[in-house]
Chain A
């Protein structure tokens, strides 16, 4: 029987052009995942171009010098693979999971668009993807109850000058303003091998994989260095209780209550993440037990960390009111749960239960080659060391009742809260 603590094989190296590569072999099934993170996200957008990093991600599926528009999808799906990309505040990722004998195809496709995107870019493709993205905005934000929380929450939690403050999805106006010249500049500045990490997990021979990576990515020239971001640092705590009330086309109130917590990968992060589990993972968690089961103020109540690596992380409580419960009562209920933990610390056995869940979740996610490659890219990008994957469980196990108590007492108080409160539009406003 395999040991829960058995190390995952991890090999790292750097190509001459600065591309960082992580290999993790697991030959139990003929599957391999390729995962490429570019260290660029909405935080890098210039003024008047909100939403551009994400629009640009769409353009990466519109072909490159030797690949036609949508051929990337075609070739990977024809090979029996799955693929996608996603944009976040500070990174953009592209990933494929393919049968392992198709590894080279996935590498070639990623390399062609990293090295030779621009010859394939046209005004027509940009116009089409701009419209697709505007429809994505309507679908995920404008025509979805509470859909604006993705942009309102960072806006509330970071000051206006901060790179995380503005909308990732972007405004319709800024999307309309994006030009082909923006595409060229953004590509040359950020889509360079020295601003990317590549992770390959699954059924590989390490030497062969390295040879293929070098063959396809080795020729791509290094970039000119990325321009510095505005200062990301913010005070450890809000220093007050921020509140924003939003009237929306929703049936019942919902609250997002946020605390600033230590950044991803820091010693304090693990304690904050364990607190999020205690508060809001599963039917035995405090929020569920108190707000859903006992007091019946909420129909759902969960908590999670954003896992931001710069400035501050955010611990978010997300609770939806039962019909008839006022938003003030819901907010007070959430505050009561935070106060209870903040003032009295963890109960007997509570930490052990949270750690047992975290351990199962971690091992479960390691089954998927795609998840494994994604975690490696995250650690390589944010902490410069994918080998930390094998230390994650030890870091969680190092969390003690005392460190939970101290973290809760320091960070869950009224001097470090931001409430984003959604309420149904008042009757007079409904058409």
Chain B
């Protein structure tokens, strides 16, 4: 019998990994085709990615991209909602159709023997949605129901409302992707049809196919199924992503007797195209990205204020939120906020130690292959190349660029991109207990906000 080993074992020889090779081509109709053969299991993910994000919406029509995308799964000119759902089920797939800030995604994963049928059916969904009034009205009512339910869900409510702490009321970004009660109520079947007619075009669409497929066959199939798609390219739009507040504010949404306060702290961050991207990603990992990050070790493991606390920079084409997110026991609400502020100051003031830096860089470097185990994850990554306008070699060079980040780079990124002078705080919790504490924090004027979701 062996005896215990008392020191931790050293790694064996590293095995090489490469992100799957892919081809980017264009069909004559202008649609981009991104094909990645991945031969492991007999599966294929097919994903249409359209440059039709919520960022394009007029402020008063907030939610139209989401409602349109959802409605597309509810029937085509040829198949009603039930028949379309059954058709996908026969292929063993589930149709998923949704909008993000930057894009509309229509996707499914099926056994690769069903590629042709699934591609046809997805193409039909993208090009000829029925927008049956009954289905569109129902989906609209479901979004309104979701907004009603959110009023009793502190976590979701905090996420939903934080955008209005950061962006101007007139900016599309002050209201979540799905839209507010007021804007959703104003949407109609006609607005969905008009949105689809105006925004959906082959020249602003990519088709991503990843899995156990042959690239030439896939190109031929896509050409056949989509050859007659014609539509004019939509106009380009810019969004106001400038901060609403140039000084600090605290907003409190009252939830009487709540045992915890849901906290969001942050400010408008950076667009994905910012040249400091890699420094910022590593800086955030050290601050609040990995389990042993400064914020989680402080709030969870040292102070036991919370089950977990993390920070993140969202990445979109426009400047997206930087935020720290946690839920803490009501009596320690102010103490927890103070600790977060301390960590934000410290990441600016203290250059990370060699250990802190290497923990984050080796995590981000090493975990890279694990992020792409499935065809769906690979197709998602390829879709991001397109929606976020990344270079073709982004995934091939990612790991070396992470490894190249230095402690000085992290410190510089913290100083340039974390702004304590315009920190916005949102708390969803009990006003009687937390109100006075929040005022004493001296993090700016405390405003009590109501349930109205704008």
Q: Does A148 contact B (CB under 8 A)?
A: no
A239 to B454, CA, bound (A): 51
Q: How far is the CB of A303 from chain B (nearest CB, A)?
A: 15
Of the listed stretches B28-36, B147-155, B172-180, B435-443, name the one at the interface; the rest are far from the partner chain. Answer: B147-155
A-side contacts of B13, CB under 8 Å: 101
A215 to B81, CA, bound (A): 58
Q: Does A139 contact B (CB under 8 A)?
A: yes
Q: Does B93 contact A (CB under 8 A)?
A: yes
Q: Does B1 contact A (CB under 8 A)?
A: yes
Say whether A431 contacts B307, CB under 8 Å.
no
A-side contacts of B14, CB under 8 Å: 30, 99, 101
Say whether B373 contacts A74, CB under 8 Å.
no
A-side contacts of B363, CB under 8 Å: 77-78, 80
From A3, A28, A102, A354, give the contact of B11 (CB < 8 A).
A102
From B15, B74, B367, give the contact of A82 (CB < 8 A).
B367
A-side contacts of B305, CB under 8 Å: 135
In B49-86, which residues have CB < 8 Å from any A CB?
73-74, 81-82, 85-86
B-contact bits for A379-418, CB 8 A (1 contact / 0 none): 0000000000000000000000000000000000000000
Q: From A128, which residue of chain B is reached at the shortest CB distance?
A: B304
A-contact bits for B5-41, CB 8 A (1 contact / 0 none): 1111101111111000000000000000000000111
In A132-171, which residues have CB < 8 Å from any B CB?
132-136, 138-140, 142-145
Q: Does B100 contact A (CB under 8 A)?
A: no
Say whether B43 contacts A31, CB under 8 Å.
no
Given contacts A30-B17, A105-B11, A357 and B149 within 8 Å (CB-CB):
no
Say whether A145 contacts B149, CB under 8 Å.
yes
Q: Does B306 contact A (CB under 8 A)?
A: yes
From A31, A127, A284, give the contact of B86 (CB < 8 A).
A284
Of the listed stretches A226-234, A310-318, A358-366, name the one at the interface; the rest are far from the partner chain. Answer: A358-366
Most chain A CB neighbours (cut-off 10 Å) among B91, B290, B307: B307
Say whether B368 contacts A80, CB under 8 Å.
yes
Q: Does B327 contact A (CB under 8 A)?
A: yes
Given contacts A203-B15, A296-B138, A251 and B152 within 8 Å (CB-CB):
yes
A116 to B9, CA, bound (A): 17
Q: From A27, which residue of chain B is reached at the shortest CB distance?
A: B15
Q: Does A112 contact B (CB under 8 A)?
A: yes
Of the listed stretches B106-114, B230-238, B276-284, B419-427, name the one at the interface; the rest are far from the partner chain. Answer: B106-114
From B9, B16, B259, give the contact of A104 (CB < 8 A).
B9
A-side contacts of B113, CB under 8 Å: 1
Q: Does B275 contact A (CB under 8 A)?
A: no
Q: How far is the CB of B119 from chain A (nearest CB, A)?
A: 16
Say whether B292 contacts A282, CB under 8 Å.
no
Q: From A321, which residue of chain B is reached at the shortest CB distance?
A: B145
Given contacts A3-B42, A145-B153, A73 and B291 within 8 Å (CB-CB):
yes
- Interface bracket on A: 35 or more
Given contacts A139-B327, A357-B94, A431-B256, A144 and B153 within 8 Å (CB-CB):
yes
From A145, A359, A367, give the contact of B111 (CB < 8 A).
A359
From A4, A128, A282, A292, give the contact of B94 (CB < 8 A).
A282
Say whether A289 contacts B304, CB under 8 Å.
no
From A81, A296, A360, give the contact of B93 (CB < 8 A).
A360
Say whether B359 contacts A131, CB under 8 Å.
no
Q: How far is the CB of A196 from chain B (nearest CB, A)?
A: 17
Say whether A74 contacts B292, CB under 8 Å.
yes
Q: How far is the CB of B399 from chain A (nearest CB, A)?
A: 10
Say whether A132 contacts B15, CB under 8 Å.
no
Q: Does B240 contact A (CB under 8 A)?
A: no
Say whether B9 contacts A252, CB under 8 Å.
no
From A77, A105, A299, A368, give the contact of B142 (CB < 8 A).
A299
Q: Does B445 contact A (CB under 8 A)?
A: no
Q: Does B165 contact A (CB under 8 A)?
A: no
A133 to B307, CA, bound (A): 7
Given contacts A30-B17, A77-B291, A283-B95, A367 and B89 within 8 Å (CB-CB):
no
Q: From A72, which residue of chain B is reached at the shortest CB distance?
A: B291
Q: Does A103 contact B (CB under 8 A)?
A: yes
Q: Does A14 contact B (CB under 8 A)?
A: no
Say whether A323 contacts B148, CB under 8 Å.
yes
Say whether B90 contacts A356, CB under 8 Å.
yes
Q: Does B301 contact A (CB under 8 A)?
A: yes
A-side contacts of B94, CB under 8 Å: 282-283, 357
Say whether B1 contacts A360, CB under 8 Å.
no
A354 to B291, CA, bound (A): 39
Say whether A283 contacts B370, CB under 8 Å.
no
Say whether A367 contacts B11, CB under 8 Å.
no
A1 to B290, CA, bound (A): 39
Say whether B2 contacts A214, CB under 8 Å.
yes
Q: From A320, which residue of chain B is reached at the shortest CB distance?
A: B149
B-side contacts of A16, CB under 8 Å: 1
From A97, A104, A138, give the contact of B260 (CB < 8 A).
A138
Q: How far is the CB of A366 from chain B (nearest CB, A)?
A: 6
Q: How far is the CB of B392 from chain A (nearest CB, A)?
A: 21
Given contacts A2-B40, A80-B370, A145-B153, A101 and B257 within 8 Å (CB-CB):
no
Q: Does B329 contact A (CB under 8 A)?
A: yes
Say whether A79 contacts B366, CB under 8 Å.
yes
From A104, A128, A320, give the contact of B12 (CB < 8 A).
A104
A-side contacts of B362, CB under 8 Å: 78-80
Q: From B83, which residue of chain A is reached at the shortest CB distance?
A: A284
Given contacts A2-B39, A145-B149, A368-B374, A135 and B16 within 8 Å (CB-CB):
no
Say whether B42 contacts A101, CB under 8 Å.
no
Q: Does B400 contact A (CB under 8 A)?
A: no
B-side contacts of A30, CB under 8 Å: 14-17, 369
A360 to B8, CA, bound (A): 40
Q: From A248, which residue of chain B is reached at the shortest CB distance?
A: B152
Q: List 20 A-B contacts (CB under 8 A).
A: A4-B42, A30-B16, A66-B4, A70-B297, A75-B8, A80-B370, A99-B370, A112-B4, A136-B307, A138-B259, A216-B2, A283-B73, A283-B95, A296-B138, A354-B89, A359-B92, A360-B110, A364-B376, A367-B375, A431-B257
Nearest 3 CB-CB pairings of A with B: A80-B366, A284-B85, A356-B92
Q: A135-B329, A296-B141, A363-B42 are in contact. List 5 more A-B contacts (CB 8 A).
A: A70-B301, A102-B11, A105-B8, A250-B149, A364-B109
Partner-A contacts on B (CB < 8 A): 1-9, 11-17, 39-43, 73-74, 81-82, 85-86, 88-95, 109-113, 135, 138, 141-142, 144-146, 148-149, 151-155, 212, 256-260, 262, 290-292, 297, 300-301, 304-307, 327-329, 358-359, 362-363, 365-370, 373-376
Partner-B contacts on A (CB < 8 A): 1-4, 16, 26, 28-31, 65-67, 69-70, 73-75, 77-82, 97-105, 108-109, 111-112, 115-116, 127-129, 131-136, 138-140, 142-145, 203, 214-216, 218-219, 249-252, 282-284, 288-289, 292-293, 296, 299, 320, 322-323, 349, 352-354, 356-357, 359-360, 363-364, 366-369, 431
